[in-house]
Amino acid sequence: MNLESKKFKIWSLFPFIVRDIAVLVPQEIKSVEVAKIIEENMGEIVVRGPELFDEFKKGDQISYAFRLVFQSFEKTLTDTEVNDIMTKITNKIKENDGWQVR
């Protein structure tokens, strides 16, 4: 084990907020494609994620569920701040034909 690569990272003293998002897409779409759109629109206050935690097939579609953890090092986040980011992500996902946020 390389100890030089292990560095202490301070954690935030402020609480975190967890949000999940499930996306129903055509079966040929891979989870990494959905995750990429989430990553491009999630902003800096997402400290962990998107983490794929569930997937299931339904007919010719597949559903991917991702978890996002929001946290600030400067303040306690509000639901409004997190909801604004989730709305932005949802709107970007809906721009893709046949994609649906569940």
* pLDDT tens track for 39-66: 999 988 999 999 999 999 989 999 999 9
Residue 56 domain flag:
yes
Q: Whole-prediction pTM value?
A: 0.86
CA–CA dist 25, 99 (Å, integer): 5
Residue 5 domain flag:
no
Q: Which residues of the chain have pLDDT under 50?
A: none
Residue 3 domain flag:
no
Residue 6 domain flag:
no
Per-residue confidence (pLDDT) for residue 4, from 0 to 100? 61
DSSP per-residue letters across 77-89: PPHHHHHHHHHHH
The CATH number of the domain holding residue 35 is 3.30.70.380
Per-residue confidence (pLDDT) for residue 3, from 0 to 100? 56
For residue 73, the enclosing domain spans 12-101
Residue 88 domain flag:
yes
Per-residue confidence (pLDDT) for residue 11, from 0 to 100? 75
Residue 93 domain flag:
yes
Per-residue confidence (pLDDT) for residue 10, from 0 to 100? 74
Domain count, the chain: 1
